[in-house]
Amino acid sequence: MSPSKPPGEAHNQPELSVSELSQSLKRTVESNFDRVRVRGEISGFKRAASGHMYMALKDDNAVLDAVCWRGVAGKLAIVPEDGLEVIVTGKLTTYPSRSRYQIVVDGMEMAGEGALLKLLEDRKRKLAAEGLFAAEGKQTLPWLPEVIGVVTSPTGAVIRDILHRLADRFPRRVLVWPVIVQGDGSAEKIAAAIHGFNKIEPGGDIPRPDLLIVARGGGSVEDLWSFNEEVVVRAAAASDIPLISAVGHETDITLIDYAADKRAPTPTAAAEIAVPVRADLQVSILDLARRLFAALSRSTEERRVRLEGLARGLRDPRDMLQAHQQKLDDVGERLNRALSVGVENRRANLGLVSAGLRRSVIERRIEQGREQLQRAENSLRRDIDRLVQDKNTRLGSLAKLLQSYSYEGVLARGFAAIRSQGTVVTAAAGVNSGQELDIQFHDGHVSAIAGSGGAKPARSAPRKPKVKTVPEDDPQGSLL
């Protein structure tokens, strides 16, 4: 064993930093694997918020990281998902921060028909579980649509076949929404066309179709894959306008066939389903018209024969009418005579009755008037007597009330009212010596002169109380 070299001894091998080594490896890998195609199964797929996609490609023995930048992710022919076997195209590079190598994907395709069919079957089960293929969601196709909308390529033979078939059977107005039916972005354009037709308002400048046809010619599974995309299937299932799917040949089945209201084996067959044959309708109408006229003629003849048979069992209406006319004439003549006699008899009776009626009626009315007048007089007398009695009773009550309030009742109990010059004297301090006084008792008046020793009475005849005169025009009168 050779002795170890002391520390600090120079080496021929240069020293590299980690970054320098990582960059060297990156240049080496990218220069040797600038363009590669790798086949593998997608695993650990995820889409970042930035729009970039990250995944791993694996087989039985190895795993390769893969990244697809946002600008490329939207242009991929298929949508990546776990378990999908694909072939990716891109360049190999390294990720120095983790010391790993990876492939930067710029293209992706399915790895063989088997993988496509497996993806198709898985997607079919998923969409069927959501109810997009349910029979109860299917709409009935219109029997004779006025306007037909067609979603297809404007340059292919499909649109010509549809137009020619419609012209042969029953010409209708056709609106074509041109789309690409294969390749990147085709599925989104097909779905947008279906949604666009459904957004047309009825009665606008552009007529709203009564029926839609989504059509494409035949091709491989890869060629028809756009019609297996979820966006197309969901658009067909959500269409308010009845939709016919006519994609590929009779043996080609796509998922839009399950979501459509009707599947046509070919685009030409879709045109045949959309409209009936006008010539056949004309023949049917003529046949129905002929049968109708024949039925009317036969029915008219049967009723004529039956009417003639019934008529033979009836009498001649003229004989029946003549007998009634004769009876009417006889009754009319008798009626005229009876009217004349009846009028004369009633005129005579009226004269007799009116003479006696006039005299008796007047007397009866006079007697009735006399009786009514007597009853009114008696009623008036009773009312007057009752009124006078009520007034007397009320007057007596008022007199008693007035008497109870009068000061003369107080005089009757031994009191006297003293006046001087017509004014009532209520206190001794208001009487001067020698002042003439009038003393009223309950039975008369006495004159006196006030002095220091008392008043000297002077008898005089009782003076009658003053009676208050009542004006003649006083409506109330006097109570006393």
Q: Which helix (H) or strand (E) holds 243?
A: strand 243-247
- Note whether residue 480 is domain-resident: no
* Domain enclosing residue 324, as ranges: 315-405
Buried b / exposed e over 89-127, threshold 16 CB at 10 Å, is: ebebbbeeeeeebbbebbebbbbeeebbeebbeebbeeb
- Note whether residue 302 is domain-resident: no
Answer yes or no: do 67 and 40 share one domain. yes
Answer yes or no: do 92 and 50 share one domain. yes
Higher pLDDT, 191 or 309: 191
Asked if residue 456 has pLDDT above 70, the reply is: no
pLDDT of residue 468: 47
Q: What is the CATH number of the domain that holds 88?
A: 2.40.50.140
Instruction: Please tell me what DSSP assigns to residue 463.
Output: P
Higher pLDDT, 266 or 313: 266
Out of 229, 247, 276, a domain closes at 276
- Note whether residue 267 is domain-resident: yes
- Note whether residue 300 is domain-resident: no
- 241's CB contacts (< 8 A; 6+ apart) are 149, 197, 198, 208, 209, 210, 211, 212
Mean pLDDT of 155-183: 91
Answer yes or no: do 102 and 141 share one domain. no
Mean pLDDT of 335-344: 82
Report the mean per-residue pLDDT for the chain: 83
Answer yes or no: do 105 and 91 share one domain. yes
424 vs 438: CA distance, rounded Å = 9
For residue 375, CA distances in Å to 315, 372, 389 come to 78, 5, 21
Asked if residue 152 has pLDDT above 90, the reply is: yes
Answer yes or no: do 150 and 243 share one domain. yes
The dihedral formed by the CA atoms of 403, 408, 412 and 418, expressed in degrees to the nearest 10: 170
Any idea which of 39-53, 105-119, 303-317 has the lowest mean pLDDT?
105-119
* Percentage with pLDDT > 70 across the chain: 89
Q: What is the CATH number of the domain that holds 226?
A: 3.40.50.261
Higher pLDDT, 152 or 436: 152
Answer yes or no: do 396 and 420 share one domain. no
pLDDT of residue 465: 52
- Note whether residue 128 is domain-resident: no
Number of folded domains in the chain? Answer: 4
Answer yes or no: do 338 and 383 share one domain. yes
Mean pLDDT of 182-203: 91
Answer yes or no: do 374 and 246 share one domain. no
Alpha helices in 87-133 (DSSP H): 113-129
Answer yes or no: do 438 and 390 share one domain. no
**pTM score of the predicted model:** 0.47
Show the tokens assigned to 34. 């600038």
pLDDT of residue 11: 64
Give which of 100, 83, 93, 96 is closest to 42, Cα–Cα: 83
pLDDT of residue 356: 64
- Note whether residue 285 is domain-resident: no
Show the tokens assigned to 307. 């009417």
Answer yes or no: do 143 and 256 share one domain. yes
Higher pLDDT, 267 or 452: 267
Q: Encode pLDDT of 352-403 as tens digits.
A: 777 666 666 677 888 888 889 899 889 988 989 999 899 889 888 888 887 7
- Note whether residue 204 is domain-resident: yes
pLDDT of residue 73: 86
> Helices 267-274 & 157-169, crossing angle to 10 degrees?
30
Mean pLDDT of 27-34: 80
